[in-house]
């Protein structure tokens, strides 16, 4: 056995051999790795620790480079960690740090080994244990090893002390009670003269303050001393990050640190420190004008640098200062605009954000025009960034900077035609949103929707399918705003629509159904036969379906309904007409504006739709099949049940009157206006008493046993898809039942609206707004030789100098908003329970009884250098009284502090875990029960308030 171990050791391949072998494998690297893993599995079982450690080292390398699983070797890593040889121990610790996690079974076996190495006299072994604990520390390890960490925080070996300081971050996160033991030692390291220990300590406090900065306000004096005295740039950067979090919480502190930060900006030559000073000023000290001006001057220096990294930092800082100080962007507008043509993608993005920050009501049209033309010349990625920036800026706060919505709808259409556009979802959302909110924009919206539907370039781009879906929905929902509804129907049933996905085609079919209902209802409401109808029928016809164009004459030609069932070559979709309609398409219905709805136009529309939809009745897609059958069923009803209307007869049969009512009801249903709904509307609806939504509905048949579903429709067709046709009598009965049910549902809806009017949008606005809104601003064609940079400079200068809103010929259209607001509710981020415990422990240390012990030495050192002017700034009675009480308590507890300094480590940890119970007990004997109770109440009040910063700093 020993001989085999020796042979394995002599002929074992090292990590260097493994790397060389992998580099020689031009192909078949996976096969080589598989063989190497088999070799590692065999070697790692060796009893020789050297052989085992080499195998573990190779496995760790493969895990880091090729993600090879090494969880099966966890126990072997523990064996190597316990080796007495440092080389083998280091391999074990590296493997454990890389592969162990909280669910590793053997994690409990390393607690004693870590404790042993942490207390070792060899600083390198202690360093290995600290690094491993910082990566795999769990709650149990942090709790068990807190005393050892406490000891190492005051180690005389700087190499060990700086790493132990860094480990406290992990220990505090996993075991917040360790704060009561180690926090004092951690604060004492802020006064360390060693730059490495000081840097590590400030780094820990920087991370802690980022989570809950308010708890660390009492340590502001120490951070201020480091800010003034330190000459280490990296330490100063960390301190500046801390003050960026603390300054907004305490205005007096912001005033105090402004001058030292400005001094660092003036004298430093390090770009990293200068940028951190600039960022601290623009983020947290923006109310101090002199500091902001100095920061803007330094930002301009960064913008003029040739290094792209520094230029990007300058643009980033400028974007931070822009919301509150827009003049800073105006001063550097030339550099910002030129950066749009930079080769660096990050620089272009930052400059684009700055350009969009300069957009105002007066400049939005021109800036968007230039940006859209600039997007045509850009690469696909930056082109979509430009389009996304335009969409997000214009839609901000319910389109508050958009004054001309017809222009904006046209702009959405132009952006949809951009070759590299991939913002289909955003454009779809805004097309629908603008249609629901802005009534005056609907005519232009329908026109743009039709132009998008007939554009063949959009059908081949899968990113724009959502835009076509929105255009189809708009065409059907707002068909009454169209100058020619027949052209919308032609655009929706064009043969190229077959290239679209089934979900989009379903929207097309639903819009065709709406347009068909609207056209038929409009024709019936304007025909002369309505004069002879019964008054009851006359009252039921809605004048919402009337068209805008006046009817100049009647068509006296006879209409034969049988012709509708005979599709001919004249009615084919491919030969749809021979007259150009102005959009590059030819239409058979261009005379609509002159003659309105006529029998001929309705006949052509029905034939056209039937020819296009008939093949879809055999579709395998359920959504398409259902909607196609609905449309075909409606056409068949119009052919079979209403011959008198189309033959210009004066007398209508009873069945024909029922069909007219059916058309009227469907038109009324589609005419109901849709409006925006608040995202929180559903939450405000009270849940009825006794309603349990999670109940099993298996007994639904018993509850609904008496209810019989209708077996067939009243207008069934003689086709295999609809079954046999019903007799007229049953048709009348079914129609009467449907009419009564619809009337009942309408009354219930009206009653519900009256009762719960809070959750309904108003049907009409406060005032009536005319539809003669001025036409949209056309996008001007830009010459290829035009300098976009000069245009941008002029436009941004005008938009920033002019602070007055422009005078428009017409007032801004009404944008529908909900009274309760529609902003997405911001869910406050829940703080982790461990973070709460950590913050609470820190506040107990800094603001409780222990704070007096902790800050006594700090006050003694700082009071010597206290400025007399600073001491007079905050001479409030409450603070003076608090200061006197604190001084008296410190003087009384001075002997206890000296005695506690001599106690052993175990006694200190025990006292910390008891949460200062003994100190409170002694205090109660000295001051009595009443004073102790007042003191407890006072301490709880202090914890709830903002932490107090000592007056010797402020």
Residue 237 falls inside a structural domain: no
Those residues with Cβ within 8 angstroms of residue 760's Cβ, 6 or more apart along the chain or in another chain: 753
State whether 532 and 451 are in the same domain.
no
Q: Does residue 204 sit within a domain?
A: no
Q: Is 453 inside any structural domain?
A: yes
**Residue 783: both structure tokens together:** 């010459």
**DSSP-derived secondary structure for 434-445:** HHHH-GGGHHHH
Is residue 50 situated within a structural domain?
no
List the beta bridge partners of residue 568.
Answer: none
CB-CB contact of 403 with 369 (8 Å): no
Question: Does 853 lie in the same domain as 793?
Answer: no
850 and 803 inside one domain: no
Distance CA 413, CA 104 (A): 57
Rounded CA-CA distance 410/775 in Å is 10
Contacts of 768 (CB under 8 A, 6+ apart): none
Has residue 365 been placed in a domain? Answer: no
Same-domain check for residues 468 and 394: yes
Same domain, yes or no: 716 and 841: no
Q: Cα–Cα distance between 712 and 875 in angstroms, integer?
A: 89
Q: What pLDDT score was predicted for residue 709?
A: 52
Do 472 and 526 share a domain, yes or no? no
Helices (H) and strands (E) in the chain, counts: 48, 0
Please give the full DSSP string across 264-297, using - where no structure is assigned.
Answer: HHHH---HHHHHHHHHHHHHH-TT-HHHHHHHHH
610 shares its domain with 565: yes
Residue 310's pLDDT is 92
Specify if 580 maps to a domain: yes
Each residue of 420-445: b (16+ CB within 10 Å) or e? bbbbbebbbebbbbbbbbbbbbbbbb
Half-sphere exposure for 785 (CA within 13 Å, toward CB): 0
Strand partners, 457: none
**Under a CB-based contact definition with an 8 Å cutoff, are residues 896 and 852 in contact?**
no
Specify if 623 maps to a domain.
Answer: yes
Convert the pLDDT of each residue in 356-397 to its tens digit: 888 888 889 988 998 998 898 889 999 999 999 999 999 998
Same structural domain, 797 and 876: no
Burial label, 821 (beta-carbon count in 10 A; 0-12, 13-18, 19+): exposed
pTM attached to this predicted model: 0.63
Q: Which residues pair with 586 in a beta bridge?
A: 580
Residues in the chain predicted with pLDDT less than 70, given as ranges, are: 1-10, 527-596, 642-657, 693-810, 818-835, 848-954
Helices in 756-820 by DSSP H: which ranges? Answer: 788-801
CB 203 within 8 A of CB 171: no
* pLDDT for the residue 658: 74
798 lies in the same domain as 918: no
Read out DSSP for 157-175?
A: -HHHHHHHHHHHHHHHHH-
Same domain, 460 and 532: no
Identify the pLDDT of residue 326.
85
Q: Are 489 and 497 in contact (CB under 8 A)?
A: no
Flag whether 574 is in a domain. Answer: yes
| Percentage with pLDDT > 70 across the chain | 64
The pLDDT of residue 290 is: 92
**Which one, of 109, 80, 74, 75, lies nearest residue 92 by Cα?**
80
d(Cα 816, Cα 443) in Å, to the nearest integer? 17
Domain residue limits at 559 = 484-681+699-764
Count CB-CB contacts under 10 A for residue 58: 26
Q: What angle do CA 261, 266, 271 make, to 5 degrees?
A: 85
Domain count, the chain: 3
Does 742 share its domain with 794?
A: no
Does 400 share its domain with 470?
yes
């Amino acid at each position: 056995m020993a001989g085999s171990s020796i042979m394995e050791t002599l002929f074992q391949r090292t990590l260097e051999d493994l790397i060389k072998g992998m580099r020689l494998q031009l192909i078949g690297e996976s096969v080589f790795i598989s063989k190497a893993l088999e070799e590692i599995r065999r070697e790692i079982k060796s009893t020789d620790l050297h052989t085992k450690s080499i195998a573990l080292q190779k496995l760790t390398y493969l895990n880091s480079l090729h993600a090879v699983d090494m969880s099966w070797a966890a126990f072997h890593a523990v064996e190597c960690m316990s080796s007495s040889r440092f080389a083998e121990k280091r391999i074990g610790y590296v493997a454990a740090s890389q592969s162990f996690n909280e669910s590793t079974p053997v994690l409990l076996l390393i607690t004693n080994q870590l404790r042993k190495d942490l207390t070792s006299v060899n600083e390198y072994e202690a360093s290995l244990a600290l690094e491993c604990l910082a990566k795999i520390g769990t709650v149990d390890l942090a709790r068990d090893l807190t005393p050892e960490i406490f000891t190492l925080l005051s180690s005389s070996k700087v190499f060990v002390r700086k790493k132990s300081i860094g480990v406290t971050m992990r220990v505090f996160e996993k075991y917040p009670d360790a704060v009561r033991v180690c926090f004092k030692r951690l604060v004492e390291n802020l006064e360390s003269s060693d730059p490495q220990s000081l840097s590590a300590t400030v780094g820990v406090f920087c991370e802690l303050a980022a989570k809950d900065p308010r708890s660390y306000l009492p340590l502001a004096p120490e951070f201020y001393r480091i800010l003034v005295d330190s000459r280490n740039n990296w330490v100063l950067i960390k301190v500046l990050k801390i003050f960026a979090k603390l300054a907004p919480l305490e205005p007096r502190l912001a005033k105090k640190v402004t001058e030292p930060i400005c001094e660092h900006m003036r004298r430093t030559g390090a770009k990293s420190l200068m940028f951190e000073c600039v960022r601290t000023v623009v983020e947290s000290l923006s109310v101090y004008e002199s500091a902001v001006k100095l920061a803007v001057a330094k930002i301009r220096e960064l913008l003029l640098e040739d290094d792209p990294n520094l230029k990007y930092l300058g643009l980033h800082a400028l974007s931070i200062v822009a919301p509150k100080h827009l003049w800073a962007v105006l001063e550097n507008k030339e550099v910002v605009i030129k950066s749009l043509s930079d080769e660096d993608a990050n620089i272009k993005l930052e400059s684009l954000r700055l350009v969009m920050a300069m957009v105002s009501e007066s400049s939005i049209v021109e800036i968007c025009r230039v940006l859209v033309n600039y997007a045509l010349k850009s690469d696909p990625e930056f082109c979509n960034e430009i389009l996304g920036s335009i969409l997000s800026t214009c839609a901000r706060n319910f389109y508050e900077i958009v004054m001309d919505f017809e222009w904006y709808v046209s702009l959405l259409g132009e952006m949809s035609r951009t070759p590299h556009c991939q913002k289909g979802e955003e454009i779809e959302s805004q097309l629908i949103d603008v249609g629901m909110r802005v009534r005056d924009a609907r005519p232009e919206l329908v026109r743009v929707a039709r132009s998008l539907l007939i554009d063949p370039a959009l059908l081949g781009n899968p990113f724009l399918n959502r835009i076509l879906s929105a255009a189809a929905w708009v065409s059907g929902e707002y068909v009454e705003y169209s100058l020619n509804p027949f052209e919308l129907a032609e655009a929706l049933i064009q043969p190229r629509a077959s290239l679209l996905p089934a979900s989009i085609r379903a929207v097309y079919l639903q819009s065709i159904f709406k347009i068909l209902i609207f056209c038929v209802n409009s024709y019936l409401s304007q025909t002369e036969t309505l004069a002879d109808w019964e008054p009851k029928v006359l009252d039921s016809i809605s004048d919402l379906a009337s068209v805008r164009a006046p009817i100049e004459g009647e068509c006296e030609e006879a209409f034969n309904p049988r012709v509708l069932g005979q599709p001919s070559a004249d009615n084919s979709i491919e030969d749809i007409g021979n007259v150009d309609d102005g959009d590059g398409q030819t239409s058979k219905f261009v005379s609509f504006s002159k003659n309105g709805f006529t029998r001929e136009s309705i006949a052509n529309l029905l034939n056209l739709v039937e020819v296009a939809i008939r093949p879809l009745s055999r579709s395998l897609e359920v959504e398409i099949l259902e909607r196609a059958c609905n449309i075909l069923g409606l056409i068949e009803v119009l052919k079979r049940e209403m011959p008198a209307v189309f033959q210009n007869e004066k007398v209508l049969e009873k069945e024909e009157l029922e069909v007219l009512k059916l058309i009227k009801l469907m038109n009324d249903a589609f005419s109901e206006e849709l409006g925006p709904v608040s995202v929180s509307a559903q939450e405000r609806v009270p849940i009825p008493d006794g309603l349990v939504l999670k109940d099993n509905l298996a007994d639904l048949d018993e509850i609904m046993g008496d209810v019989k579903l209708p077996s067939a429709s009243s207008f069934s067709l003689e086709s295999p898809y609809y079954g046999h046709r019903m007799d007229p009598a049953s048709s009348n009965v079914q129609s009467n039942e449907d009419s009564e049910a619809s009337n009942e549902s309408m009354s219930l809806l009206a009653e519900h609206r009256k009762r719960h009017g809070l959750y309904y949008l108003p049907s009409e606005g406060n005032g009536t707004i005319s539809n003669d809104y001025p036409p949209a601003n056309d996008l001007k064609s830009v010459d290829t030789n035009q300098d976009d940079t000069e245009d941008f400079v002029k436009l941004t200068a005008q938009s920033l100098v002019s602070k007055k809103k422009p005078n428009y010929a017409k007032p801004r259209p009404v944008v529908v908003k909900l009274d309760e607001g529609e902003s997405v509710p911001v869910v406050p981020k829940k703080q982790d329970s461990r973070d709460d415990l950590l913050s609470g422990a820190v506040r107990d240390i800094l603001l409780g009884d222990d704070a007096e012990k902790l800050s006594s030495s700090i006050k003694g050192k700082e009071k010597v250098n206290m400025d007399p002017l600073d001491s007079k700034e905050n001479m409030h009675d409450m603070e003076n009284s608090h200061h006197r009480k604190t001084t008296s308590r410190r003087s009384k507890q001075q002997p206890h502090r000296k005695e506690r300094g001599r106690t052993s480590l175990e006694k200190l940890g025990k006292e910390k875990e008891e949460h200062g119970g003994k100190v409170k007990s002694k205090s109660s004997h000295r001051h009595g029960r009443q004073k102790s109770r007042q003191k407890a109440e006072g301490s709880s009040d202090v914890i709830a308030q903002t932490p107090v910063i000592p007056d010797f700093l402020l």
